[in-house]
Amino acid sequence: MKFSTPRPTKLILFVLLLGLTWPFFAGAQIVIDNPLRYASIQELIDAIIKFLFLIALAVSPLMVVIGAFYLMTAAGDPGRVKTAKTIFLYTAIGLFVIFLARGLVALIRSAMGVTP
């Protein structure tokens, strides 16, 4: 005689369902604390923008070094020289866009009277 064991997926689903519905049956109040250290969505978005700005500032010198490596090791190959120039150009354009975006946000905030 064989005894069948419950499938792990059904068991996991049952335990998950029981864990989620148990506070309702017990009459407990569910309180979820804010896992972030920011009090509002605006502060969270500002922190994300600041993080992306710092990442861009860290990556741009790396791209300049990579472009310089391509230029130094070109040995007269016009394809590698063009690749190096393209890397320099795109890095400069990227930095310009990043600084322009940051400045534009600051300008709009000061025009509207919003303090960071």
Angle 22-23-24 from CA coordinates, rounded to 5°: 90
Instruction: Tell me, yes or no, whether 63 lies in a domain.
Output: yes
**Which range marks the domain in which residue 67 is found?**
36-112
Residues 6+ apart with CB under 8 A from 83: 70
pLDDT in tens, 25-67: 666 666 777 777 888 888 888 888 889 899 999 999 999 999 9
Is residue 29, in this structure, part of any structural domain at all? no
pTM of the model: 0.61
Cα of 101 vs its chain's centroid, Å:
17
Report yes or no on 77 lying in a domain. Answer: yes
Closest CA to 20 of 7, 32, 9: 32
14 occurs within a structural domain: no
Pick 116 or 87 by higher pLDDT. 87
Give the model's confidence band at 114: pLDDT under 50 very low, under 70 low, under 90 confident, else very high.
confident
The Cα 71–Cα 86 span in angstroms is 11
Q: Which residue has the higher pLDDT, 18 or 107?
A: 107
Query: What does the alpha-carbon distance between residue 40 and residue 35 come to, in Å, rounded to a whole number?
Result: 12
Asked whether residue 80 is domain-assigned, the answer is yes
14-23 residue pLDDT tens: 877 777 776 6
Number of domains in the chain: 1
Q: How far is CA 90 from CA 57, 60, 75, 97, in A?
A: 14, 10, 22, 10
pLDDT (0 to 100) of residue 2: 63
Residue among 96, 94, 72, 95 nearest 84 (CA): 72
6 has pLDDT over 70: no
